[in-house]
Amino acid sequence: MLDPVKLEHFRNLVSLSAADIYLVPQNNKNRERQLEEMMDVALVDGDFARSEKELIKTVAVKLGFTRQEAEDIIRRYLLGKS
Give the separation between CA 6 and CA 40, rounded to whole angstroms: 22
Give the separation between CA 73 and CA 65, rounded to whole angstroms: 10
At residue 4, the pLDDT reads 78
Q: Is the dihedral of CA 61, 36, 54, 2 positive or negative?
A: negative
At residue 20, the pLDDT reads 59
At residue 75, the pLDDT reads 96
Mean pLDDT by 10 residues, the chain (82 residues): 74 68 80 92 89 90 93 95 78
Which residue pairs from 26-30 have beta carbons closer than 8 angstroms and sit at least 24 positions apart in sequence? 28/64
At residue 1, the pLDDT reads 62
